[in-house]
């Protein structure tokens, strides 16, 4: 690593800058056209050449991962902080609100594609799941969450509010809050009815076992 003495120049500076330009442009394009936005459009918006794009990202999927990563990390750290909150039920709701607010801009659904995700994303997903697990545990214990839902349930439901709203092209930017509220009411103990199917387990990473 390090390339210690190339010369006096800071050769990394504008390389790093290009990377940021591409990421920013990509978010705009992905928001406009979805994940099928063309690489050419992204580079045009970023003001770099296509070759530069592939120097930084190898693959379009790579870019997507790179975009998603900081948001996952950020979300995990928010979750981490909320684990210590005074009101565990409010903490879980706030976490889900943050998650949905973020996804409203970036399509994180990619992250959930359990089987096909690249390793880095799987790793991030596991981390996030671990955090959710602790939030859920506390909420359940405190009586704010029905007893029969698991961290995986919450993880899977996390993006549902956004998806519901995506069907509507002219939806206001905050409509997802309405559906998050409804779904969250469904997670509360009050008025909970029996669940007809056991919780899925296939996302549990080994590390969670411990």
Partner DNA sequence: AATGAATGAGGCTTCATTCAT
Partner DNA sequence: CATGAATGAAGCCTCATTCAT
**Binding site residues, DNA, CB under 7 A:** 3, 6, 9-15, 17-18, 36, 38-41, 48-56, 58-61
What tokens were used for 104? 């409203």
Q: Which does 81 bind (CB under 5 to 8 A by kind): DNA, a copy of itself, none?
A: none
Q: Which does 4 bind (CB under 5 to 8 A by kind): DNA, a copy of itself, none?
A: none
Q: Which does 184 bind (CB under 5 to 8 A by kind): a copy of itself, DNA, none?
A: a copy of itself
CA–CA distances in Å: residue 64 to residues 44, 75, 138, 201: 17, 17, 33, 26
154 Cβ partners below 8 Å, 6+ apart?
92, 96, 132, 135, 136, 187
Nearest approach in angstroms of CB 51 to a copy of itself is: 12
**Residues found near a copy of itself in the complex (CB under 8 A):** 36, 109, 112-116, 149, 153, 156-157, 159-160, 163-165, 167-172, 174-175, 177-179, 181-200, 202-203
Q: What's the distance, Cα to Cα, between the start and end of the chain in Å?
A: 34
What tokens were used for 188? 């509360």
Q: Which does 134 bind (CB under 5 to 8 A by kind): DNA, a copy of itself, none?
A: none
Nearest approach in angstroms of CB 67 to DNA is: 14
Q: Which does 107 bind (CB under 5 to 8 A by kind): a copy of itself, DNA, none?
A: none
58 Cβ partners below 8 Å, 6+ apart?
none
The DSSP line for 23-64 is: HHHHHHHHHHHGGG--HHHHHHHHT--HHHHHHHHSSHHHHH
Nearest approach in angstroms of CB 102 to DNA is: 24
Nearest approach in angstroms of CB 45 to DNA is: 12
Q: Which is nearer to DNA, 15 or 199 (CB)?
A: 15
């Amino acid at each position: 690593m390090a390339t210690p003495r190339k010369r006096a120049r800071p050769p990394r500076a504008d390389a790093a800058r290009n990377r940021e330009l591409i990421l920013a442009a990509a978010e705009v394009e992905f928001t406009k056209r979805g994940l099928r936005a063309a690489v050419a459009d992204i580079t045009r918006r970023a003001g770099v050449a296509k070759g530069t794009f592939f120097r930084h990202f190898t693959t379009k999927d790579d870019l997507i991962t790179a975009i998603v990563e900081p948001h996952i990390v950020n979300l995990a750290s928010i979750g981490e902080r909320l684990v210590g909150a005074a009101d565990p039920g409010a903490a879980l709701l706030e976490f889900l609100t943050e998650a949905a607010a973020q996804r409203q801009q970036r399509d994180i659904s990619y992250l959930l594609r359990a089987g096909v995700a690249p390793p880095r994303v799987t790793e991030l997903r596991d981390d996030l799941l671990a955090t959710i697990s602790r939030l859920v545990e506390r909420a359940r214990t405190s009586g704010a969450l029905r007893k029969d839902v698991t961290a995986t349930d919450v993880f899977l439901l996390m993006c549902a509010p956004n998806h519901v709203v995506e069907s509507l092209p002219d939806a206001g930017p905050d409509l997802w809050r309405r559906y998050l509220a409804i779904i969250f009411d469904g997670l509360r103990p009050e008025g909970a009815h029996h669940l007809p199917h056991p919780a899925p387990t296939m996302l549990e990473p080994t590390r969670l076992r411990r």
